[in-house]
Amino acid sequence: MTAYLADVGALARKDLLLELRSRDTLPAMLLFVVSTLVVFSFALPAGTGETAAYGLLWVAIVFTAILGLTRAFAAEREQRVLDGLVLAPCDRSAIWAGKGIAVVVFLALAELVALPAFALFFEPVTWELVAAVALADLGLASVGTLLAAMAAASRARELLLPLLFLPLVIPVVVGGVGASIADDPGRYLGFLALYDLIFAILSWASFEYVVTE
């Protein structure tokens, strides 16, 4: 168990360090999420109201996640590291967990910028919204990491990921929007937590089959 956690930690640290050195994903995500918000402010007709703004925030989050995920396995693919990692004497699901943690960190950093920007441009950010975003990050990262590994093995690559990803995360958008605008956010937060739990277990268990022959 400790060995497993150490593997996960090492893998996550590897991704974060790599990003720290090359800086090719995170700045793109930050810029993307802010420019999306600016585009949305023009796309919304004046006086549309707060509900629409919250909805658009969630669209921005999901698309930023896609942007980050398309790059998630880029380094591995270009330098053919994944084959080596699969052969390494660690549990394959540790690769998923490490990568997922790195994706969560990227997403959280992007939202650290996006949420204040949202508060500045549109509506105040409530605690429920922050909780929903945190829960959604976990779900997006766990499903996204698995699908990104699939897409990395395909010919279409960047094209394929949104197609696989979007229908699967519709429940996350529903839960997130609900938690930000409904009167009883608890139900929606609970739903998001349930989604995270189900899909994290499923992705964790099935990752091995995606990366091995």
Partner 1 sequence: MLLLAGVALAFYWVPDAPLEGFRQRIFYIHVPVALTAYACFGWAAWKALRLLSTRDQRYDLESYTAVHMGVIFGILTLVTGSIWARTSWGVWWSWGERQLVLFLVLFLFYSAYFMLRYSVEAGPRRASMSAVYALFGVVLIPVSFLAIRLAEGLIHPVVFDRNVGDNLAGSQLLTFAVCLAGTLALAATLYVNELTGKRVDERLRELREALE
- Kindly give the interhelix angle for 160-181 and 50-72, rounded to the nearest 10 degrees: 150
Site membership for partner 1, residue 20 (CB under 8 A): no
Q: How far is the CB of 165 from partner 1 (least distance, A)?
A: 9
User: Which CB, 6 or 59, lies closer to partner 1?
Assistant: 59
What tokens appear for 54 in the block?
A: 């919250």
Site membership for partner 1, residue 2 (CB under 8 A): no
Interface residue with partner 1 among 53, 60, 160, 189 (CB under 8 A) is: 160
Rounded Cα distance, 30 and 26, in Å: 6
Site membership for partner 1, residue 156 (CB under 8 A): yes
Site string for partner 1, 164-183 (x = CB under 8 A): x-xxx-xx--xx-xx--xx-
- The radius of gyration computed from the CA coordinates of the chain, to the nearest angstrom, equals 17
Site string for partner 1, 111-150 (x = CB under 8 A): --------------------------------x--x---x
Rounded Cα distance, 108 and 138, in Å: 10
Cβ neighbors of 56 (< 8 A, separation 6 or more) are 37, 40, 43, 44
Q: Check the CA dihedral 30-36-42-45 and report its sign.
A: negative
> Restricting to residues 193-212, which ones interact with partner 1 according to CB under 8 A?
194-195, 198-199, 202, 206, 209-210, 212
Q: How far is the CB of 180 from partner 1 (least distance, A)?
A: 10
Binding span for partner 1 by CB under 8 A among 66-74, 94-102, 117-125, 184-192: 184-192
Q: What are the φ and ψ backbone dihedral angles of 48, each rounded to 5 degrees? A: -75, -25
Write out 10-76 in H/E/C secondary structure: HHHHHHHHHHHHHCCCHHHHHHHHHHHHHHHHHHCCCCCCHHHHHHHHHHHHHHHHHHHHHHHCHHH
User: Which CB, 108 or 198, lies closer to partner 1?
Assistant: 198
Positions touching partner 1 (CB under 8 A) are 143, 146, 150, 153-156, 160, 163-164, 166-168, 170-171, 174-175, 177-178, 181-182, 187-188, 191, 194-195, 198-199, 202, 206, 209-210, 212-213
